[in-house]
Structure 1
């Protein structure tokens, strides 16, 4: 392999790794926001003046956030696999 081609390949791998790290950081920040919103939704149901609509919203959010958490876990796994490929 020519030196130029090797350098191009290395630069591509560096760029991919940088992008994966940025994606990982964004995903972590997303999870932090998800946790924050989940806490807010849970606080709705603990309020004394909580009505049925608020309970429904909180329940829906809890279900949706659990599904989102499952998918973010899968994204972390995918990022890790891609990271291993491009090292």
Structure 2
């Protein structure tokens, strides 16, 4: 789990810089997705598997659960940053 707040911006090519401290904790591959309140959520591969499992247990009969899962997973991307952390 990360603590603190990080402001982010995209470079001219639309790439996001991930601070070295975060990259070290996330590992060589991680998942980034839309969060709540205009935030981004980052997960290591192991954490992402746990998130998928938990959200997969939500009741399909719940419209709110389906809407949240759709929002959350539709914005998810597996990332492998370059040497500069982008």
Q: TM-score range by the shorter chain?
A: 0.3 to 0.5
The alignment's TM-score, normalised by the length of structure 1, stands at 0.38
The alignment's TM-score, normalised by the length of structure 2, stands at 0.39
Larger radius of gyration: 1
Instruction: Name the one with the larger helix percent.
Output: 1
